Structure 1
């Protein structure tokens, strides 16, 4: 019986050590960047020299569902970065507010879509791509309608997409809501680690990244390899995986930045549930597919992408580590081997060093050290979220009320990003 327990605990310890080791590797690569590289990463995007329109034919698709409260801010950050307002295409998808009318005031192209049976971001983007087929651009850029795009971003990711012939992902971070609580602050740190530190480390290691959502650029021929129209909502992680398997792995562009906004407490739990359920579902369904392709095609970058996908959300990784470590400690006191506990101890040190290192280098100015003390309570708050994934994962489009902008009283709604997949036409 003891031998069986030891084998099980050793398997669990080794299984957890793999994503922990890769997390540590990519975070270490990001942390060891020299002063010049750090300066490049934090390029002043407000420099007028960086705000010129891209010298490649570019179209910016902005899918919008009832975004009257935020579409103006998004367009105001986009317009200085394009050659002509008409190259920005707002897809007003099943809107019941003034989104389309507000967008038209800025001179951008506005197309409206009404379909009560097929609605959501995926269908909206597919509708926008069909609109562009008459006179296709060289590069298509996708930006959510509730984001601010830093000056220079559009030109940078457009040129990089054309030069590399690969999908490009800009840095996609989250702005905290007004009067943020400890959960919001720690969630912001988690997004920074996931969407900035880890992709930056992958870039320095020469590996591709996962797509994280808004701020994505695609060569026209590449984006048309896949179908975005689906009965489920669009899944950016799945899109990146399908394109990587098709020979076009995504590339991270640290000099581009898109800023979204975390919802307030009223909607934060649903928002984070969607983000993490999609990751878990994709991890479970796509890891075997990536491993088979990496072996069959002998492509190391697919193996790196598999390891990146296998890192669960940080809060879940810590929970799994705590449960495994507690079990290994109890078993060791009852006479089992101490080896699983030793392996888990090393893995725990890697997790802690990765998170603290990322905070110290990339987030210390925005996130006070005292906020890190709330992490145990944040983990407790997350337990029902992961239990819900086992019982009723969020896989379909739903509507949710967005909390008001800090400077507005108007309530905004948006379509929710899902956990769906099925991008490939094949």
Structure 2
């Protein structure tokens, strides 16, 4: 029994070590190297950029789509297009979008449901008059000034898919404490992709604020009902030789749900989808990257393999406890040393991230909220383990006025 526990503790600690190392390396690179990295080159001044199309998939978004359209229209040139796909809507999303000045097409298919099908429908519609660049923005997002131009320029100059900085914040007067969730989002969608960017490595796609060269998006497999279609799309494009590029100068944002039920549902969809993709795709991608000696594919595969930060923290702590038990009952201390190193590196990385982009969200007095936030996720991970996975594209309840992105908003960090 002692030998079994000892071997198990060593195996778990060793398996977690590269995941913790990748997580920490991305954060450290973002903090230390980001000021030395120049932004993606823009198009030469005086040269008018090629036409672009902004594609907005929308499912029952009539209450919040107007501000999104207004943000985007203010940044378009006369030859650009703004297309809304009102997908399986039971409200007046289509009418509201038309009234706000967007081109609208409606899609009704109660069998093939999901954001991927809406995107496929929209891209095929754009094919009659294809733009040079297609930018995808969710209907509940706000788009900062200059974001469309930054995405189009980065996409055009690199001829690669480009991902904007996509942040989430708590709605005004929310009854839910989103402090830790917002900090976790910054780590995942800001620091980690920024770390990859400064290392000249590709990032994952995040679902909104994505730009694609027409020749890339028109051949992409979009039509699916997957709940993390963006994550899958980024992996597919990397395999096809089109690894996505992070563009931190283009900012978009949205708000967390206004109700506890909505927040729980959203979190379950995102994290179940991420974990399912890790289980299905990560081992194959890692093997393929090794065989092909493809650095971009290896970076994307390793980044994908890192589980959500709460789960990673749980696993690191559990591995330390298991190795401590093995050591106490007379087993090998190798697992204890490795797991202690994992725990030290993980805690240090979280501390560095907190110092750079979390102090305004989670002040020292609120750090005790983190264990409670993590504990609430135990049920979510148990549901995934027992196959209770949410796979429906549903509208998340948000503040009606959405989020106003202010270029001068106080978001401290390596980009400030």
TM-score by length of 1: 0.88
* Helix, strand or coil at the partner of 1:399: coil
CA–CA separation in structure 2 for the residues paired with 1:267 and 1:172: 20
CA–CA separation in structure 1 for the residues paired with 2:131 and 2:281: 31
Out of 348, 364, 369, the residue aligned to residue 353 of structure 1 is 348
Aligned to 1:414: none
1:329 aligned onto 2:305: no
CA displacement, residues 299-344 of structure 1 (integer Å, 9 cap, x when unaligned) = 1111111110111000001111121111111111111122211211
1:317 aligned onto 2:312: yes
Aligned to 2:279: 284
CA–CA separation in structure 2 for the residues paired with 1:406 and 1:156: 25
Contact residue 59 and residue 87 of structure 1 kept, 8 A: yes
Aligned to 2:21: 21
1:226 aligned onto 2:220: yes
* Helix, strand or coil at the partner of 1:117: coil
Aligned to 1:143: 137
Aligned to 1:157: 151
Q: Quote how far apart the aligned CAs of 1:54 are.
A: 7.3
Contact residue 61 and residue 142 of structure 1 kept, 8 A: yes
CA displacement, residues 123-156 of structure 1 (integer Å, 9 cap, x when unaligned) = 1111101111111011100000000011111111
* Helix, strand or coil at the partner of 1:291: helix
Contact residue 140 and residue 220 of structure 1 kept, 8 A: yes
CA–CA separation in structure 2 for the residues paired with 1:17 and 1:68: 46
Contact residue 115 and residue 393 of structure 2 kept, 8 A: no
Contact residue 94 and residue 116 of structure 1 kept, 8 A: yes
CA–CA separation in structure 1 for the residues paired with 2:7 and 2:79: 63
CA–CA separation in structure 2 for the residues paired with 1:78 and 1:345: 49
Aligned to 2:230: 236
Which stretch of the first structure deviates more once superposed, 63-72 or 386-395?
386-395
Contact residue 180 and residue 361 of structure 2 kept, 8 A: no
Q: Quote how far apart the aligned CAs of 1:398 are.
A: 4.8
CA–CA separation in structure 1 for the residues paired with 2:136 and 2:90: 22
Runs (5+) with no aligned partner, structure 2 = 41-45, 404-416
Aligned to 1:44: none
CA–CA separation in structure 1 for the residues paired with 2:230 and 2:402: 30
Aligned to 1:420: none
1:63 aligned onto 2:41: no
Out of 347, 361, 384, the residue aligned to residue 379 of structure 2 is 384
Contact residue 266 and residue 396 of structure 2 kept, 8 A: no
Aligned to 1:338: 333
Aligned to 1:5: 5
* Helix, strand or coil at the partner of 1:104: helix
TM-score by length of 2: 0.90
Q: How many correspondences in the alignment?
A: 397
CA–CA separation in structure 1 for the residues paired with 2:156 and 2:310: 37
CA–CA separation in structure 1 for the residues paired with 2:92 and 2:80: 19
Aligned to 2:188: 194
Q: Quote how far apart the aligned CAs of 1:224 are.
A: 2.0
Runs (5+) with no aligned partner, structure 1 = 42-51, 409-426
The 1:54–1:30 alpha-carbon spacing in structure 2 relative to 1, beyond 3 Å, is farther
CA–CA separation in structure 2 for the residues paired with 1:324 and 1:158: 45
Contact residue 51 and residue 79 of structure 2 kept, 8 A: no
CA–CA separation in structure 2 for the residues paired with 1:34 and 1:245: 27
The 1:253–1:403 alpha-carbon spacing in structure 2 relative to 1, beyond 3 Å, is closer
CA–CA separation in structure 2 for the residues paired with 1:224 and 1:400: 26
1:87 aligned onto 2:81: yes
1:214 aligned onto 2:208: yes
Contact residue 182 and residue 374 of structure 1 kept, 8 A: no
Aligned to 1:45: none
Aligned to 1:251: 245
Aligned-residue Cα RMSD (Å) equals 2.3
Out of 231, 248, 256, the residue aligned to residue 262 of structure 1 is 256
